[in-house]
Amino acid sequence: MLKFAERTKGAKRSAIRELLKYTEQPEVISFAGGLPDPATFPTEFLAKVAQEEILHNALKSLQYTTTEGKRPLREALIRWLGEEGIKTTMDQIVITNGSQQGLDLLGRAFLDEGDAVFVSLPTYLGALQAFRAYQPTLVGIPLEEDGMDLSFLRRAIREAKRAGHEPKFIYVVPDFQNPTGITWSEEKRKELLEIAEKEDLLIVEDIPYRWLRYKGEHIPTIASLDEGGRVIVLLTFSKILAAGLRVGALVGPQEVVNMVVTLKQGADLCGPSLTQRLAVRFLTDYDMHAHIARLCQHYKVKLEAMLEALARHMPEEAGWTKPEGGLFVWVKLPEGVDTTKMLERALVHKVAYVPGQPFFADGSGQNTMRLSFALATLEQIEEGIRRLGAVIKEEVATLTLA
């Protein structure tokens, strides 16, 4: 009889993964994946520098490295974050295996059972999974078009305290959020900082999609507006370079970084040297800004195609976000539609999406879905949304009849 730890009791694999297996059939048009388009990976550059690093720099690329991560990478990040108005130093950065590891290490560092973590409804599923391992109380805050409902957040913090759940941090993805594509306004970013200041809370600002803006003006990061050392930034090379390299970074107050480094030692000693070296070379020897501009052009066309197809094929009862960047569009259907159940029918019609419910910490959101436009071709986007529109129209009609 295996005696797993008590805290693993709540661990569950996503039920939708089972259904998503079918999305891999070649005739299915899938908007389900959350992956970047591999066509955007700079393969020739990576192959060339990987060969150089292995042949001529083996000591730095194939040996263990420090837990904090490679110095030249952290130096390059200081310069890059400086362009974003985020002032940081060497000992405020730890390189992580993707930002996902940052989420896990923050859970390990801060969360005792029952502690309150505030997340938007909906939020990134991987963050919920990472935090849940530490048995916190996840408090869901409704997400509006310009960010969290902050009056709701204020009340929720008070209520959590009253119920004995110590508030630890607020987790946000303020730029082109996964799953909704929503971006926070500057006003709400500032107000969130005021709340964190007043309540003595940390903010975890996760920004994987920040550089994938296809139109509109950049809005300052919360970290760049912060003067009180309250913001921990998670960034990653997954969406702008290559996801499989697993290079990300956690940037924050020195005490937090010290603790995270200590915990990371126990987790993996250090991140992979070779992929950190590739990230250094990307930041120093490649025209990163031109690369990002190409990525944005690549995805912009797909996003526009999806928004146009939605306008053409969705029934009037459906609503959807109109993001200015990122990889996702979020669709809301009338109450009563269950997108998890509907997925089976969608698959019969050879189209797939991700049901929205798992992104909600409180189990709501049955009538929502996430669509990714990253992997499909323009023709597939048009045809896939046409199929999906037909499935939804049928579903809404049965609802009206019932």
Ligand X SMILES: Cc1ncc(COP(=O)(O)O)c(C=O)c1O
Which one of residues 147, 208, 325, 358 is an interface residue with ligand X (CB under 6 A)? 208
Q: Which stretch binds ligand X (CB under 6 A): 6-14, 92-100, 132-140, 293-301?
A: 92-100
Query: 173 and 183 in contact (C-beta within 8 Å)?
Result: no
| Rounded Cα distance, 351 and 306, in Å | 14
For the bound state, the minimum distance from the C-beta of residue 295 to ligand X, rounded and expressed in Å, comes to: 15
Cβ closest to ligand X, residue 281 vs residue 370: 370
Residue 124 binds to ligand X (criterion: CB under 6 A): yes
Q: Compare residues 327 and 381 and give the one whose CB is closer to ligand X.
A: 327
Smallest separation (angstroms) from ligand X to the CB of 99: 4
Q: Does 321 bind ligand X (CB under 6 A)?
A: no
Q: What is the DSSP string of 270-306?
A: S--HHHHHHHHHHHHHS-HHHHHHHHHHHHHHHHHHH
Regarding beta strands 231-236 and 202-206, do their DSSP bridges make them parallel or antiparallel, or are they unpaired? parallel
Any contact of residue 167 with ligand X (CB under 6 A)?
no
Tokens (6 digits) for 288? 């990163």
By CB under 6 A, tell whether 183 contacts ligand X.
no
Binding of ligand X at residue 180 (CB under 6 A)? Answer: no
Contact string 219-258 vs ligand X (x = CB under 6 A): -----------------x-x----x----x----------
Under rule CB under 6 A, residue 32 binds ligand X: no
Q: Which residue is nearest to ligand X (CB)?
A: 98
Query: Is residue 206 close enough to count as binding ligand X by CB under 6 A?
Result: yes
Q: Should residue 178 be labelled a site residue for ligand X when binding is judged by CB under 6 A? A: yes
Q: Does 129 bind ligand X (CB under 6 A)?
A: no
Judged by CB, which is closer to ligand X: 68, or 104?
A: 104
Instruction: Out of 65, 99, 129, 275, point to the residue binding ligand X (CB under 6 A).
Output: 99
Give the nearer residue to ligand X in terms of CB position, either 270 or 391: 270
Question: Residue 238: what are its φ and ψ, rounded to 5°?
Answer: -60, -40
Q: Report residue 72 as tokens.
A: 């030249």
Q: 356 to 385, contacts with ligand X by CB under 6 A?
A: none
Indicate the residue among 241 and 381 with the shorter CB distance to ligand X.
Answer: 241
Q: Which of 22, 33, 34, 393 binds ligand X (CB under 6 A)?
A: 34
* Number of residues counted as binding ligand X (CB under 6 A): 14
Report the alpha-carbon distance of residue 236 to residue 257 in Å, rounded: 16
Long-range interactions of 299-304: CB distance < 8 A, separation 24+: 299/37, 299/212, 299/214, 299/325, 299/327, 299/373, 299/374, 300/214, 300/215, 301/378, 302/373, 302/374, 302/376, 302/378, 302/381, 303/214, 303/329, 303/373
Q: Are 116 and 169 in contact (CB under 8 A)?
A: no
Helix (H, G, I), strand (E, B) or coil at 188: helix
Write the DSSP assignment of 362-385 as a string of letters: TS--TTEEEEE-SSS-HHHHHHHH
Chain positions contacting ligand X, by CB under 6 A: 34, 98-100, 124, 126, 173, 178, 206, 208, 236, 238, 243, 248
